[in-house]
Chains A and B, each alone.
Chain A
């Protein structure tokens, strides 16, 4: 850590990192407190009657009645998902709704803003009619009603879900100038509650030759993927709840798979069938799609694990810094291999790096929030973040990542993201 983030004292007594423009956390907080103190001492004396007291209009009228399901403030209405609709109006439910990460904070994505990758729209499933069938190479084929699933003991875990096509917009020849979430928001993190898949597989009695599962959704494309039995018996969940409430329709209501750390596409939504097989089924979505074309024309298949990755959400593309001075750089990091060990931030395009503070790093396969104090002096800067996971995997530079794949590859882009800051404060998406 010290290697990259040496602190020195200036003649004014201010701690400034040798890393250009960065400041240490203590200085950041002390300067903030000084400003707050000035504001407090300037308070006004109370007036002679209550009408003269400070009080906004909403403090002087009775508030809105109790409501059944809370909604965001009307002043926050613009916080909505970004759409990626490759087929336009022809198939408006096919594509992705991406998380507006540039407007969110913390670790948990609100359920209504969770990324939604759907292949044939969102089905309107009646849970009383929906069944989960478990069959194939098992001793006892079984069918579960949703009430039956509800009866099992449940577990609760926090996991991210990332589409393997996330960040594909950053593979355009020229960097797109869109908000961070419209480029990198095909991922989210929620608390999931459900049944370990292992429990149901043990009830059905897997035969020794069962090495894979075919999982299939009840959407109108019957989206299906093959899953290795090792993952199914490890940490895969049959999820019924997200962030404490039943799954939202676009998240797979009434039941979905949740494969922690693996391609989001494999966490099959609207789960209707699981078939134990000896070999992968080679479905359309594990052959024609979700395979990673290499420069030699051959494609990697069954690249399940999502690579170590991070992105700065604040400040980010299309924002404008309104002033020089102190800012907190904040962003998200995650790895399909397990825990995040370290996130480094650079403000000079990767020449120098310094460690960011982490929140949530104790949880594997979940979002980590990183924060980093930075002083913008008005000069050009390039902001980057670089994550390292507990397996020692380091988020690759863009050029190194590009060299691994065909120019036509769309998947598993976990390369370092760069935002430039211009002298006017405008933040742009750039390739470094």
Chain B
């Protein structure tokens, strides 16, 4: 009985392996070893925010509110008003990219404001990521944009307004994919 059961398992694994090797159309067979996941499970893990803002959560924050968040959670590494040191500068450098001493900051270099929300939420503060409320993430994003002269001090950043922010270096990138240009 044991032998027969083991053989069945071996055959099942073999069949699954063959299925995995075969090229399947999108409507192909079910996964050999993967498990189906539901929307709720996906939503708890899907933290990436593209430039259009899809996936931005509910919440709101202004630069005024963000100043306090920054002072408590960011200043120790990123310096007074985002000036940098010991970690990266977040403010300044606008107009410097074509010079002999380019200064790349959120203000001078980052093409999309959505990336700021995305990165603060997923990675900051460095010692305690995934700890900020969404209001705090919006507020501190607003504060950094404000320090760079990009949004007003009292402009609320939300899922609607953040993707509309036009970053100074929005058109400063040339995609090298698919054609290599060098």
Contacts and interface: CB of A to CB of B under 8 A. Distances in A.
A214 B111 CA distance: 18
Contacts of B180: 303, 305
A202 B126 CA distance: 36
B11 interface: no
B26 to A, nearest CB: 4
B3 interface: no
A140 B31 contact: yes
A283 interface: yes
A81 interface: no
B52 to A, nearest CB: 8
Given A142-B31, A142-B37, A297 B129 contact: no
Interface in B23-69: 23-37, 41-42, 45-51
Interface in A103-159: 119-120, 133-135, 138-145, 148-149, 151-153
B129 A220 contact: yes
Given A202-B28, A221-B129, A288 B175 contact: no
Given A222-B122, A288-B106, A299-B172, A206 B26 contact: yes
Contact of A277 (B50, B97, B129, B172): B50
Contacts of B97: 293, 297-299, 406
A94 to B, nearest CB: 8
User: What secondary structure prevails in chain B residues at the interface with A?
Assistant: loop
B36 A293 contact: no
A133 B36 CA distance: 10
A297 B175 CA distance: 14
Given A90-B86, A144-B35, A203-B24, A300 B122 contact: no
Given A205-B26, A221-B122, A142 B34 contact: yes
Contacts of B87: 87, 90-91
A145 B87 CA distance: 36
A169 interface: no
A273 B180 CA distance: 28
B2 interface: no
A152 B20 contact: yes
A206 B49 CA distance: 20
A94 B88 CA distance: 13
B180 to A, nearest CB: 7
A372 B35 CA distance: 54
A199 B27 CA distance: 14
Interface in B121-159: 122-123, 126, 129
Contacts of B28: 202-203, 205
Contacts of A222: 47, 122-123, 129
11 contacts: A133-B37, A134-B34, A140-B30, A142-B31, A153-B17, A153-B20, A203-B34, A284-B110, A284-B123, A297-B102, A406-B98
Interface of B: 13, 16-17, 20-21, 23-37, 41-42, 45-51, 77, 86-87, 97-102, 104, 106, 109-112, 114-115, 118-119, 122-123, 126, 129, 172-178, 180-182
Closest 10 pairs (CB-CB, A-B): A297-B98, A142-B34, A297-B97, A205-B26, A148-B33, A408-B102, A302-B177, A221-B123, A222-B122, A284-B119
